[in-house]
Chains A and B, each alone.
Chain A
């Protein structure tokens, strides 16, 4: 039973004390898909970064399987938590090929004297074929499109074989075809019981509706439960301060939400 617990978490944004992220108590179980939503600046990415260990500027505890993540080394943390950034974020890739980039996911496991082993290479090859990206595994990363790149970023995180996956708006800026492909990948990951925490702005996201939702507003948790309770109540308006129109599409038996421009 892998459980991620956030206890009395307080994170200072950008160094000043005026604005704080406050999470009193949240428990995320193994195999859960948690979507973090909220307005811009509500603390979504900050929370994700704290869990990923990218900021240590917090008080309180982030506990995974009874281990306080603040107290373990970076390479131990990388074996437990993998973080996938947004592909449009400005990251320099130098001349890494896709294979070399995914191989960096094995870094927490290497012996520094020996470097990467055959086992590491095998795991990378497996991951690459698992995500169906073999056809560009030898290409330079800088030549990939946003959609292709996003899959490579996920592949590297999967090669890390961590216990929790963190996705930071990974479907933003992707075209529809790549979004659908990404959904298929996420479906596979959910089926093999990965624990996933995903920041998203897409309220109509498929997995947002089937998993749990953590809604943040001005750094405070205002909702954390199954998505069905979220949509049944009027939480959506509370989160975004905007009225939403609800559509029901008969063919796929699914509800969709669109912001209402005039009635605010």
Chain B
């Protein structure tokens, strides 16, 4: 077990370190020496200002999506739960669509699409927490069906807005919905890194609660887990993290469903290990996918959401073919 963890750590580190250098020609081999010196302006600027931030962004977004997926799979006792199950990302997508269609100006110096995506994502979180509170029931079915309903509701609104848009707007909306990692400044990355690390730490604190929750809600309660509070807390923090990721990169599919599964297949079910393992797998996987997206159709950068879903689809079928009890 320890060896597996060390291998995973080293692999992840290597991927993050070398991913920025893979790709278009601008970067010659000599630039490795210049990693921190930036003495050759053009090449090093490509690395420093574009590739490194993009790689770091890919890592943190992948890690965040993966941990959200793991949490939803645990809380809902459902292997097919993904970060998008509850409709937070559909809400964010609708927010971005509105911002693009009506050409909203920036929101307190933040670009409009991410800002409105984040606002609508958070509104959805509020709905998700408030509706079961009103019904006084946090059972899995209520939550999952609320998520399904919200997903359809937002999908309809998004389609309506994009139907009413002109060609250029529709193109932007469509592009946004594919999910991609664009050029980001370091401030966004620092913000996401801080938020991710804080929330992952928060979730890790509840690792034993989550382990017991896997058994059944009833058993968890009689062992002293406050299941309603745990669900609200975890849903709240993961949804905020998710809304933030989606507002930056759009809905990048499948990372959140397959990475926790790979972690569970290799490391078993204990959250003491699956939490860090999912984080590393998710981050490393999205870094790899993004690198692939950069080089696959040179000189274009394919939206990374296409690559993840392309790889994720067959993997999900592979999982479904396996005996469920082995997962």
Instruction: Verify that A and B bind, or say they do not.
Output: yes
Q: In the assembled complex, which residues on chain B have CB atoms less than 8 Å from the CB atom of A75?
A: 224-226
Q: Which residues of B, 287-313, contact A by the 8 Å Cβ criterion?
A: none
- 1/0 per position for A77-94, CB-CB distance to B under 8 A? 111011101000001111
Within 8 A of A (CB), among B188-221: 205-209, 211-212, 214-216, 218-219, 221
A21-54 near B? 1/0 per residue, CB < 8 Å: 0000000000000000000000000000000111
Q: What's the least CB distance linking B287 to chain A, in Å?
A: 29
Which among A53, A74, A78 has the highest number of chain B CB atoms within 10 Å? A74
Interface size class for chain A? 20 to 34
CB-CB < 8 A to A254: which residues of B?
Answer: none
Rounded to whole angstroms, the CA-CA distance of A92 and B215 in the bound complex is 5
A147 contact set on B, CB distance < 8 A: none
Contact of A108 with B by CB under 8 A? yes
Asked if A74 contacts B211 (CB within 8 A), the reply is: no
Main SS of chain A's interface residues? mixed
With a cutoff of 8 Å between Cβ atoms, the chain A residues found around residue B221 in the complex are 52-54, 74
Question: How long is the Cα–Cα vector from A52 to B207 in the complex, in angstroms?
Answer: 24
A118 to chain B, nearest CB (A): 16
A110 CA to B270 CA, complexed, in Å: 16
User: A96, B225: Cβ atoms under 8 Å?
Assistant: no
Q: Top 8 A-B pairs ranked by shortest CB distance?
A: A78-B224, A75-B224, A108-B224, A83-B222, A74-B226, A107-B223, A94-B269, A74-B224
* B residues apposed to A, CB below 8 Å: 77, 205-209, 211-212, 214-216, 218-219, 221-226, 268-270, 272, 325
Binding site for B on A (CB under 8 A): 52-54, 73-79, 81-83, 85, 91-96, 100-101, 104-105, 107-108, 110, 112-113, 115-116, 142, 160
**Additional pairs, 19, CB under 8 Å, beyond known A74-B224, A94-B215, A112-B205:** A73-B224, A74-B221, A74-B225, A76-B224, A82-B222, A83-B222, A91-B215, A92-B216, A96-B214, A100-B270, A104-B211, A104-B212, A104-B219, A104-B223, A108-B224, A112-B208, A113-B205, A142-B325, A160-B223
